[in-house]
Amino acid sequence: MKKKTIFTGSAVAIVTPFKDGSVDWDALGQIIEFQIANKTDAIVICGTTGESSTLTDEEHRGCIEYTIQKVAGRVPVIAGTGSNDTAYAIELSKFACDAGADGLLLVTPYYNKASVKGLVAHYKAINDAVNCPCIIYNVPSRTGCNVTLPVYKALADCENLVAIKEASGNISQIAEIIAAVGDSFDVYSGNDDQIVPILSLGGKGVISVLANPMPKETHDICELYFDGKVKESAELQLKLIPFCKTLFCEVNPIPVKTAMAAMGYGSDELRLPLCEMEEANKEKLLAEMKKLALI
């Protein structure tokens, strides 16, 4: 069953800048313009990197609306609307679709640790309630729940469930998924150090943290691969591995927000329980950024 492809290439899981405890709308606008000017293929607002878990409902909706209006159709906007409460996920998803989102990112229900039957029922309920394409987001290290192949097989015929963001880190699992249901779902890497391996299995791109400070390079990894320049794509991926490691030396989005602030895009303000980066780790991060001429 061929479904709509939301984007091909690199989608940035964009940070949400804060100032004095509130969303810094000016800084968010600057970050969006920086992304579009540097070839980001799509923008994901209110994902994990956007600290969606500590946004109020009003802020969450406001960020979605603001991003859609600011982007103004120049690239696809994908709204993070997942929840461990199916009813709330449906409510927020309907809002994002009505606001003009090009797609939805639906994280696996966290903490509840649903069964296969429960996961299938959760995603089918959202599929049936919305009118825009959805990406199932599997990140078991955060949710405590791994989406396995039987779930994807049961959801393959759902018209609005068109793609998977795989952040399990398990290449064997991802290969099995693409082999079994790759005709029903586009697959995106959820890890910046696995872009090329997942593209080689038939993936469509990445939903990226790295793309916040390096949008063009992350786009280029994908474009080079799709242009048949696999060696050049892999070389760029490998060149950026040390920086990727520093971006995840503390829990995301602490390092990437610190990096963006160092580049002049918003502050490094986070919301508890996330807190300021350890000084030793910050020094390593800034040293890698200097090597790449980011600062």
User: What CATH number did the domain enclosing 177 receive?
Assistant: 3.20.20.70
List the catalytic residue out of 3, 39, 70, 165.
Answer: 165
Place of tokens 């060696």: 231
Identify the domain containing residue 217 by its residue range.
Answer: 9-229
- pTM, two decimal places: 0.96
HSE-CB of 223 using CA atoms within 13 angstroms: 11
List the catalytic residue out of 3, 39, 123, 137.
Answer: 137
One-letter amino acid at 58 equals: E
Domain count, the chain: 1
Q: Which two tokens stand for residue 86?
A: 């199916």
Q: What angle do CA 238, 244, 250 make, to 5 degrees?
A: 155
C-alpha 283/C-alpha 288 separation (Å) is 9
Phi, psi of 190 (to 5 degrees): -100, 5
Residue from 253, 254, 251, 262 nearest 287 by CA: 262
The verdict on residue 266 lying in a domain is no
One-letter amino acid at 17 equals: P
Between the two ends of the chain, the Cα-to-Cα distance in Å is 46
HSE-CB of 188 using CA atoms within 13 angstroms: 28
Q: Which two tokens stand for residue 243?
A: 């920086």
pLDDT 10s digits, 92-126: 999 999 999 999 999 999 999 999 999 999 999 99
What is the helix (H) or strand (E) element at residue 93, kind and residue range? helix 86-99
Could you list the pLDDT tens digit for every one of the 295 residues in the chain? 678 899 999 999 999 999 999 999 999 999 999 999 999 999 999 999 999 999 999 999 999 999 999 999 999 999 999 999 999 999 999 999 999 999 999 999 999 999 999 999 999 999 999 999 999 999 998 999 999 999 999 999 999 999 999 999 999 999 999 999 999 999 999 999 999 999 999 999 999 999 999 999 999 999 999 999 999 999 999 999 999 999 999 999 999 999 999 999 999 999 999 999 999 999 999 999 999 999 9
Say which DSSP state 14 is in: -
C-alpha 281/C-alpha 88 separation (Å) is 37
Residues near 259 by beta carbon (within 8 Å), at least 6 away in sequence: 212, 213, 247, 285, 289, 294
Active site residue 137: yes
The verdict on residue 292 lying in a domain is no
Total residue count of the chain as it appears in this document: 295
pLDDT 10s digits, 180-229: 999 999 999 999 999 999 999 999 999 999 999 999 999 999 999 999 99
